[in-house]
Amino acid sequence: MVDSCQHCDQCRRGEEQLCREGNTVTYGGFDRVTQEMTQGGYSKHVVVRQEFVLRVPDGLDLSRAAPLLCAGITTFSLLRTWNVGPGSRVGVIGLGGLGHMAVKLAAGLGAQVTVMSRTPNKRADALALGADRLLISTDPDAMAQAANGFDLIIDTVPNKHDLNPYLPLLDVDGTLVIVGQIGPMDEMSSVPLLLGRRRVAGSPIGGIRETQELLDFCASKGILPETETIRMDQINEAFERMERSDVRYRFVIDMASLEGSAEAVA
C-alpha cells in the first residue's frame, strides 16, 4: 500500500487499508497522483506518499523484514483486532506464508497456538515455529475433542474450501477469520453460528501505524519470517516451486542481483 485518500474517517484513524475511496496498492493499482497503474516493489526504487514510508528498526534483518509488510501485517492486524494476548486460544489453518507468520506472531503475543492440518506431516515444523500442538483436521475424534476450544481461528487456506468442520471448534463468541481465500467458499451451515454465537469474518492488511508497530514488535521480540533469498534470475524457478508449495515459507528477491540481469527481468 503506497497511498490513500488521507481525509476519510478510516484514513484519519490510521486504517488506510480500509480507505473509503480505496487505498493505492503497491502493484496493479490505480495511482491517484500519476493516474497510471502502480508498478510494484520488484524494482530498485518505489515511490510512496511520505506518510506511507516505514522505518525498519536497526537490527531487523532486511532480507527477512520484507514479508512482514504483507503476510506479517495481515496476520498481526487481525490478532490485534481480536485482542489476542496471553491465554488466548488461537487456531491456524494452513501453514504457508501467512500461516507460519500467524503462528509466530500469536505465540509472540502469548497465545496458545494450535496448527490445524490435514496430515501429521507438519507437526515438527508447527512446533518449531512456536505452536503448542497440531490438530489433524481429518481425525474425527481429535476434532470432536477440540470442540468449543478456540477464541480465534485464522484461516489461511488460499482456495475454495469447507468451513463446516472448523466452526464447532470455536467457543461462544469465537471468530473464524478468513485471510487466505479471496472469493467463493463452499456452502456453509448457519447452525453452529446461531447455536454457538460464533462468527465468520475476514481481514485485510493493517494500517501504516499498525505496520510500524509490527516492525518494532518483531525487532524487539526477534520474530522473523522464514525466508529463502533468491536472485532475480531465479524468479521463474521460484514461481514454479511456489505453485507446488515448495517454499519455506517466503521467497525474497535480492534486488542487488538485478545488476546485469535485464534478460531475467524481461
Least distance to Zn ion, CB of residue 259, Å: 38
Give the range of 4-12, 130-138, 145-153, 162-170 binding Zn ion by CB under 5 A.
Answer: 4-12
Of 5-13, 28-36, 139-147, 224-232, the window that binds Zn ion (rule: CB under 5 A) is 5-13
What torsion do the CA atoms of 238, 243, 248, 253 make, to the nearest 10 degrees? 30
Q: Which residues, in sequence order, are CB contacts of 28 under 8 Å at separation 6+?
A: 37, 38, 40
Radius of gyration of the chain, Cα coordinates, nearest whole angstrom: 19
* Residue 5 binds Zn ion, judged by CB under 5 A: yes
181 touches Zn ion (CB under 5 A): no
What span, in angstroms and rounded, lies between the C-alpha atoms of 21 and 24?
9
Nearer to Zn ion, 19 or 170 (CB): 19
C-beta of 54: minimal distance to Zn ion in Å? 18
Query: What is the distance, to the nearest Å, from the Cα of residue 135 to the centroid of all Cα atoms in its chain?
Result: 20
Q: Determine the angle formed by the axes of helices 97-108 and 208-221, rounding to 10 degrees.
A: 70
Closest separation in Å from C-beta 24 to Zn ion:
10
Residue with cell 515448495: 246
Give the nearer residue to Zn ion in terms of CB position, either 18 or 131: 18
201-230 binders of Zn ion (CB under 5 A)? none
Q: How far is the CB of 18 from Zn ion (least distance, A)?
A: 8
Member of 1, 4, 95, 151 binding Zn ion (CB under 5 A): 4
Taking the C-alpha atoms of residue 104 and residue 85, their distance in angstroms, rounded to an integer, is 13
Site track for Zn ion across 17-36, x = CB under 5 A: --x-----------------
Of 180, 177, 189, whose CA–CA distance to 150 is shortest? Answer: 177
- CB nearer to Zn ion: give 11 or 134: 11
In this chain, which of 8, 48, 54, 264 binds Zn ion, going by CB under 5 A? Answer: 8
Helix (H, G, I), strand (E, B) or coil at 132: coil
Residues of the shown chain interacting with Zn ion in the complex, contacts defined by CB under 5 A: 4-5, 8, 11, 19
